[in-house]
A and B are shown apart, each in its own frame.
Chain A
Amino acid sequence: MTLLDFARGPAMFWAMTLMIIGIVWRLAGTVLLARRKDRSSPRGENRVAAGLRAVAMRSVPPHELEKSITFQHITGYAWHLGWFATFLFFAPHVPFLKSILGFGWPGLPNQAIVILAAITLAILLALLVRRMVHPVLKVISDFDDYLSSLVVCAPLVTGIVTYAHLFPDRHETMIALHILSVEALMVWLPLGKIFHCITALPLRFQIGATYARRGVKA
Chain B
Amino acid sequence: MNATATAVEELAAFKKLAQGIAQLGRAAPPVDLSADERVARAKQVFIQKTDAQVALDLESCLHCGMCAEACHFYEGTGQGRYAPIHKLKLLRKVYRRELGPFRLVHRLLTRDLSVADLEQWQELVFDSCTECGRCDMICPVGVHLSRGVHITRQALAAAGLAPAELRALDAEQSRTGAIFGADVGVLRSALEAVRAQGITVPLDKPRAEYLVLTTAPDLLIYRSSLAATARIMNHLKFDWTFASNAFEAASSGALSGDEAAQKQATQRIVDAALACGAKYVIVPECGHAYPTLRWEGPNEVDRTFPFEVLAISELIGREIDSGRLRVKPVGAAKRVTFHDPCKLGRKGGVFDEPRKALAALGVELRETESRRATNYCCGGGAGVFLLERAAPLRAAAFRIKREQFDATGAQSVVTSCDSCRMTFAAGAEQTNWNVPVESLVKLVADHLATGEAT
Contacts and interface: CB of A to CB of B under 8 A. Distances in A.
Same complex origin of A and B? yes
B224 to A, nearest CB: 29
Contact of A138 (B64, B78, B80, B369): B80
B64 A135 contact: no
10 contacts: A29-B100, A30-B56, A40-B295, A76-B64, A137-B63, A138-B80, A145-B63, A193-B63, A195-B59, A204-B141
Nearest to B57: A203
Interface of A: 25-26, 28-36, 38-41, 43, 54, 58-59, 61-62, 64-65, 68-69, 72, 76, 134-142, 144-145, 191, 193, 195-196, 199-200, 202-208, 210-211, 214-218
Most chain-A Cβ atoms within 10 A of its Cβ — which of B63, B138, B143, B296? Answer: B63
Contact of A203 (B56, B70, B85): B56
Given A62-B374, A137-B65, A203-B143, A40 B138 contact: no
Contacts of B348: 214
Nearest to A202: B56
Contacts of A135: 78-80
B65 A134 contact: yes
A24 to B, nearest CB: 10
B373 interface: yes
Interface in B284-317: 291, 294-299, 302-305, 308
Contact of A216 (B299, B308, B373): B373
Interface string B87-127: 00000000000011110000000000000000000000000
B144 interface: yes
A200 B60 contact: yes
B203 interface: no
A38 B298 CA distance: 8
Contacts, number: 169
A25 B101 contact: yes
A69 B142 contact: no
Interface stretch (B46-54, B163-171, B206-214, B354-362): B46-54
B101 A28 contact: yes
A73 to B, nearest CB: 8
A36 B302 CA distance: 11
Given A26-B59, A191-B102, A207-B142, A217 B373 contact: yes
Contacts of B140: 58-59, 76, 200
